[in-house]
Structure 1
Amino acid sequence: MTLPYRDINVHVAADSYTFTSPSSPNSPALIVDRPTGDVRLSEASHFPSKRVSRVSNKYVIIITKSQPMGRLKGHMVYKIISTEFLPMRERQIRDPDEDQFLSLLKTYIMKGPMYFSYSLDLTNSFQRQATMDNSSPLWMRADDRFFWNRFVQSDLINFRRTGNRSQPGPQPGADPYILPVIWGTLEIRPTTFKNTPLTLVLITRKARHRAGTRYFTRGLDEEGHAANYNETEQIVVLNDTGRGLGGYAGSTDMQSGKYRSSEGAETQVLSYVQTRGSVPVYWAEINALKYTPKLQVRGIETALPAAKKHFDEQIRIYGDNYLVNLVNQGGREKRIKEAYEQMVQMLVSSPSDKVKSDAITDEKFHIIEPSSSKQEYDRLHYIYFDYHHETKGMQMHKAMLLVEQLHDALIKQQYFRGVDMPANGGLETRNFQTSVVRTNCMDSLDRTNVVQSMLARWTLDRMFVDLGLLQRGETFATADTAFEFLFRNIWADNADTVSKSYAGTGAMKTDITRTGKRTKAGILQDGNIAVTRFYLNNFRDGPRQDAFDLFLGAYEPAAANIGSSYIFADRRPILIQSIPYILAFSIFFIFVGLFTRRLPGSTVWTIRLFILFWLVVAAWCFNFVISHGMLYVNWPKLNPRPWAVEGYQDAITKIHKDALLGPFVARHERGLSTARYLNAEEGKKRIE
């Protein structure tokens, strides 16, 4: 079995970068030619070094510092702390757009929560790992959905598969240089439960397809990839004697990464997998500086092929899917609820609807099940739960009604249980998880986090009962308060990580996850998060979305049909750009008038007129910005959203008709480059 090298030296020369492994001196070196970026292998052992200082349009990204996070079944896992960009070509002239590309990646991607292991496949759940051929290279076993740096390594992977002109054919010598990385949560906590040593692990893997930010990435794309899609695996490892950060227990084989228990006890792995993702239809929320963005839902029939692709993959990987929907049944979210239900009814055979109501709500549960099992999509089971009304007034314990509703499905679903078999280097499966719960709310964040932690809690109780650590009917919450505290906080930390990636802030309602109840401090914290999200999602998320698109290959500068010098320039009319600055100056002058000491003999009415004038100017500017919010949202520039293009054009048309500003805007807009519109239309084509 070929695993990635644990130690790689980089030799820098004017015409190449050469990567070697000191611990494997007889292995071929990987050479990346400059400036072409061509990849090849060489048996040479000495490489001259020379540092260069300029950047170019193609780079090698290397991990320069990592932090050990702990051992999982004897395998060390690391978090990426710092990286370095190695340029392919020195450039004599500075390119501002290229500097901007680098800044996006370094600011929003390289600081993200990314993890890797040299010997353990972090992209796959333990259940999937147990059914795989562990003799193949680590990167070949990786789940393509969660292979976060897959696009960045595409040149190297293509070389490995087909070679190049000088070295045609497959190049297995490149395998140890390909290292899969995941983005998300990875918590490894060696602990005890009722004096029984065990390791509690939580891994959340963020999908690289349709990754992005809250208001700029919703629903499905045409390939069936859902926005904010994450797989979360809760793992318990028993008799894991290699849990520390020291050397391998009973083994010094650094390259193989094999783990052998020194105590001879049977190492068991129990895991439970859940998923989350945006409502699987075509929909969007269009932010225009309103706290509640405009909701847009495209035709359900139009999205049907994409939904089929989505659920084809979900059923193939997980089996039956229990689709838990937590959006509100009233108000603006009602359209999303109805769209989801219409989609499920179109997918399953002879759908059977069942609605449960009570004194609080007319639709506590809405269940859609196929009345027969004629086709693949009859493995979809839709469960709507009115989370908002049931938990209103801090009645958070009522969310357990959903777990009770899912009880029979959870019993049938089970969980994965495997025993480590050092002889064959893998896990011997004793029990399979046969289905998955896919949970969503509007953002698939706050409400989803609470429900996923409840399902994880219920399943962990079941695991402990099956292991003989709990009596039937007993819960770990009452049996071991220290373990309960650890469980709550590890899930709350996961909620924050997933939320920061998508919404830019920590999650709401984490007081429920951490303490088990709704608190006044938690409500105040949620208010602060709501305000922060409004600011970030309107004024800061454009560049963050661009960074995702750039790193994941949704936008390729070399393939763009427009000169890069047009990409990041603000080409709104100068007058439109100036309004917020006039507003800021107006507020400044108002404060000057209010707090500046008057000179002796000066009249009061003069100051009052001064303040009144700037109050009128400030009010007009503020009203203008709010009324034309589409012009002031910080939109993604690399892949402009279709609704942003349409909204921008509508807003400009509206301003042209304005009696005061119309003539000035039209005059300053004359002669503007059409690059903004060309770039926008190109982005629209790519998205659609």
Structure 2
Amino acid sequence: MLIAKTVRVAAVLPTGDEVMQVKESAWVRVSLRNACAGLSRDERVNLQSLCEFSVDGTHFYCRTFDVSRPFAYGNAEAGLQNPDREWVWNASLAAPLRATGIPGACPTLIQGLVEHRELRDSNDKLFNLCIFGKRSSLHPGTRYLARGLNDVGAPGNEVEMEQLVWCEVDQQRSDSPEASEAGLMNGDARGGSVSSKDGKLCSWTSYVWRRGSVPISWAQEIKQAYGEAEIQVAKENPYRGTGTYFARVMNAYRTRAVAAANGERQSFPITCVNLLRCAPGKPEM
């Protein structure tokens, strides 16, 4: 069993929810009443690799807010019960606890970074800046090995970043209907207002971007100790899984999970940027 021995508050969201970073963890051996059969050699090797996996300083969680999704899409109740599986790193470890009806005993663990700073502008107005970085669990790996799409249409080492900025607005606005309920969000998926648990009204804005391996079937082969590795695109159906990838992106960002004030669901455009070096002679060509 993996336990967190030391954690720290890495960020406090506009809603007042605390995001915790794991500083020190440990594996604890638990004796079972009905022990299973002995592990095979391969199972012992896999177990040892799991226990050596780095958790300290590279994972975070929140017990009261869904941080597996960008802030605009967060929902305390539904999100905690059904997090975005792409960014969850302890789903298998948590499955037995969820099956027994105690999901809260094992919060959703996300690999990445989260930092929160209080800053002041030229008018000495206080505002908050929070940066989230999340690494996908669907196709992680080392460089040159995790390339292109895998069998579930996930590109190698996909990363999502979010820049969340907010500030407290005039207290008079806290009596407005939009702030009548703690944690209630208003606005579109890029910004709006939210009331914290202590009744403060905050205006926020969010910018989300993600980057990963090119979403087609390709690989790289290292033939020499120096120079660039040769890019090899699959000869048969290189775009198999590309549609699955973009469908996942559309489902994740296109429609906002929180209903807008007029009862309609909000959406916003998704922009794809080509970062390939397309000049003649470059390996991407």
Q: Is TM > 0.5 for Structure 1 vs Structure 2?
A: yes
Larger RCO (alpha carbons 8 Å, 6+ apart): 2
* Cα deviation 1:314-355 (Å, max 9, x = unaligned): 1222334422122222334233xxxxxxxxxxxxxxxxxxxx
- Higher Cα Rg, which structure: 1
Aligned to 2:215: 280
Contact 2:119 2:128 in 1 (8 A): yes
Aligned to 2:149: 220
Q: Distance between the aligned counterparts of 1:66 and 1:211, measured in 2?
A: 25
Choose between structure 1 and 2: higher strand proportion. Answer: 2
Contact 2:118 2:126 in 1 (8 A): yes
Answering whether residue 238 of structure 2 is matched by residue 310 of structure 1, we say no
Contact 2:90 2:109 in 1 (8 A): yes
Q: Distance between the aligned counterparts of 2:242 and 2:39, measured in 1?
A: 45
Aligned to 1:331: 281
* Cα deviation 1:503-540 (Å, max 9, x = unaligned): xxxxxxxxxxxxxxxxxxxxxxxxxxxxxxxxxxxxxx
Q: Percent identity?
A: 22
Matches within 5 A, 1:292-311: 292-299=228-235, 302-311=237-246
Contact 1:218 1:227 in 2 (8 A): yes
Choose between structure 1 and 2: higher helix proportion. Answer: 1
Matches within 5 A, 1:407-426: none
**Aligned in 2, Cα 1:66/1:95: closer, same or farther, shift over 3 Å?**
farther
**Aligned in 2, Cα 1:314/1:127: closer, same or farther, shift over 3 Å?**
same
Contact 2:64 2:80 in 1 (8 A): no
Contact 2:27 2:51 in 1 (8 A): no
Contact 2:21 2:57 in 1 (8 A): no
Answering whether residue 115 of structure 2 is matched by residue 177 of structure 1, we say no
Contact 1:139 1:178 in 2 (8 A): no
Letter matched to residue 273 of structure 2? V
Contact 1:77 1:115 in 2 (8 A): yes
Q: Distance between the aligned counterparts of 2:23 and 2:153, measured in 1?
A: 33
Q: Distance between the aligned counterparts of 2:158 and 2:121, measured in 1?
A: 32
Letter matched to residue 281 of structure 2? G
Q: Distance between the aligned counterparts of 2:77 and 2:56, measured in 1?
A: 33
Q: Distance between the aligned counterparts of 2:230 and 2:219, measured in 1?
A: 8
Answering whether residue 170 of structure 2 is matched by residue 229 of structure 1, we say no
Matches within 5 A, 1:327-476: 327-329=276-278, 330-335=280-285
Q: Distance between the aligned counterparts of 2:13 and 2:31, measured in 1?
A: 40
* Cα deviation 1:465-519 (Å, max 9, x = unaligned): xxxxxxxxxxxxxxxxxxxxxxxxxxxxxxxxxxxxxxxxxxxxxxxxxxxxxxx
Secondary structure of 1:271's counterpart equals: strand
Q: Which runs of 5+ in 2 are unaligned?
A: 170-195, 255-268
Matches within 5 A, 1:241-260: 259-260=197-198
**Aligned in 2, Cα 1:86/1:104: closer, same or farther, shift over 3 Å?**
same
Q: Distance between the aligned counterparts of 2:238 and 2:31, measured in 1?
A: 44
Deviation at 1:119, TM superposition (A): 1.5
**Aligned in 2, Cα 1:111/1:333: closer, same or farther, shift over 3 Å?**
farther
Deviation at 1:140, TM superposition (A): 1.5
Letter matched to residue 66 of structure 1? V
Aligned to 1:375: none
Aligned to 1:359: none
Deviation at 1:279, TM superposition (A): 0.6
Deviation at 1:99, TM superposition (A): 6.1
- TM-score (ref. length: structure 1): 0.32
**Aligned in 2, Cα 1:289/1:66: closer, same or farther, shift over 3 Å?**
farther
Matches within 5 A, 1:9-408: 60-73=1-14, 74-89=16-31, 100-111=45-56, 113-129=58-74, 132=75, 134-136=76-78, 139-157=80-98, 159-160=99-100, 171=101, 174-194=102-122, 195-239=124-168, 259-261=197-199, 264=200, 266-291=201-226, 292-299=228-235, 302-319=237-254, 320-329=269-278, 330-335=280-285
Contact 1:295 1:332 in 2 (8 A): no
Deviation at 1:97, TM superposition (A): 6.0
- TM-score (ref. length: structure 2): 0.73
CA RMSD of aligned residues (A): 2.7
Q: Distance between the aligned counterparts of 1:145 and 1:94, measured in 2?
A: 29
Q: Distance between the aligned counterparts of 2:110 and 2:156, measured in 1?
A: 17
Secondary structure of 2:251's counterpart equals: helix
**Aligned in 2, Cα 1:112/1:97: closer, same or farther, shift over 3 Å?**
farther
Letter matched to residue 286 of structure 1? E
Contact 1:112 1:183 in 2 (8 A): no
Letter matched to residue 259 of structure 1? K
Contact 2:130 2:163 in 1 (8 A): yes
Q: Number of residue pairs matched?
A: 237
Secondary structure of 1:317's counterpart equals: helix
Deviation at 1:88, TM superposition (A): 4.5
Letter matched to residue 87 of structure 2? F
Secondary structure of 2:93's counterpart equals: coil
Q: Distance between the aligned counterparts of 1:305 and 1:97, measured in 2?
A: 32
**Aligned in 2, Cα 1:102/1:122: closer, same or farther, shift over 3 Å?**
same
